[in-house]
Amino acid sequence: MTTLLRELCDAIGVSGDEDAVRDLILNAIRDHVTDIRIDAMGNVLAVRRGTGAADLRVMAAAHMDEVGLMVKGFDSDGTIRFAAVGGLDPRILPGTRVLVGPDRVPGVINWAPIHLNSSERTVGIERLRIDIGASSRDSAQDAASPGDRIAFDSHLVELGPTVRGKALDDRAGCAALIALVQGEPFPFDLHVAFTVQEEVGLRGARVAAQRIQPDIAFVLETTACHDLPQDPDEPDQTTITRLGAGPAITVMDRSMISDQRLVRHLVAVAEAENIPHQFRSPQHAGGTDAGTIHLSSGGVPSVVVANPCRYLHSPQSIMSLSDFENQIRLLRAAWMALTPATLER
């Protein structure tokens, strides 16, 4: 595992508050790019100069933000009410360790112990509170303010051939894009965008694409992986992706249908270069920055290459390091072979 992947995942950057992640990325790419710009939304935009062999304007995007929570208010017992930032399943929250606000105040999300917790009631986020050890509203208010971000308190660790931690979605994509930028130049100028606020509605990417106006876009993502034994009563036993089976090429999700020419190009390159790859099973769930990029500037042929992650949007997601390496290999090879002819109808 690279130090940079660890630093990126451990950095806290809940949507709209991506500064710590942005600083790491700027340091990592500065010596390899030109035209660095931080736009009005906070996206990092830069150009990796190419050899000029291919006359194409190519955009590659990865989002900097992560899902988390936000302080809503305080109860008289000193606990904190909160809202979700991005898609979170409230059922995974009770008992979770969190860090509150810019001072990273440690806390835990409350739950009734098993001795008292006999009801089958489902967990609603409005019933949950964060306990930071404060005993009054006043002392809780000294520690945090409404609007403060709350992040999962979790660090990246290596587990055999995998890593486990928070925010692999999409710091793994950021780390892969950084590795690609630091490598050999491509035949074209690569316009990179490290975007903000993906998890709350693909917002940074919309603005980034408007400025870049690319001919083609690639989005580096992570995606759900649910490859463990499933409920046999489920009518559809399709596995969305499998851990360790290679980066997943998205064909269709809720936000877009990938450009067929780019999907074919990726598959042809992967087969020629013997790079493991898989398809994310097509479904009307999930979305990525490609959802907004492909609808910008009169339309942009776009495709998503994503690393499967178990327990996505949790403090402990798990990703295969070989999938991560193969995502970089696949995109490098695909970009080296990309020409205007790739888009011929």
- Shortest spacing between CB 280 and Zn ion, in angstroms: 12
Question: Which one of the listed residues 18, 66, 198, 199 is annotated catalytic?
Answer: 198
Buried b (16+ CB within 10 A) or exposed e, 108-134: bbebeeeeeeeeeeeeebeebbbbbeb
Query: Under the phi-then-psi rule, with left for phi > 0, alpha for psi from -120 to 50, and beta for the rest, what region is 261?
Result: alpha
Q: Give the nearer residue to Zn ion in terms of CB position, either 191 or 313.
A: 313
- Shortest spacing between CB 127 and Zn ion, in angstroms: 27
CB 68, CB 151: distance < 8 Å: yes
Q: Give the nearer residue to Zn ion in terms of CB position, either 18 or 169.
A: 169
Q: How far apart are CA 316 and CA 293, in angstroms?
A: 29
Q: Is the peptide bond before 170 cis (omega within 30 degrees of 0)?
A: yes
- Shortest spacing between CB 133 and Zn ion, in angstroms: 32
- Shortest spacing between CB 317 and Zn ion, in angstroms: 11
- Residue ranges of alpha helices (H) inside the chain are 3-10, 19-29, 137-143, 168-182, 203-212, 260-273, 290-293, 321-336
Site residues for Zn ion per CB under 5 A: 169-170
Q: Give the nearer residue to Zn ion in terms of CB position, either 61 or 105.
A: 61
Concerning whether 184 is annotated as a catalytic residue, the answer is: no
**Residue 10 burial (CB count, 10 A):** 16
CB 79, CB 133: distance < 8 Å: no
CB 296, CB 212: distance < 8 Å: no
Buried b (16+ CB within 10 A) or exposed e, 329-341: bbbbbbbebbeee
- Shortest spacing between CB 169 and Zn ion, in angstroms: 4
List active site positions.
198
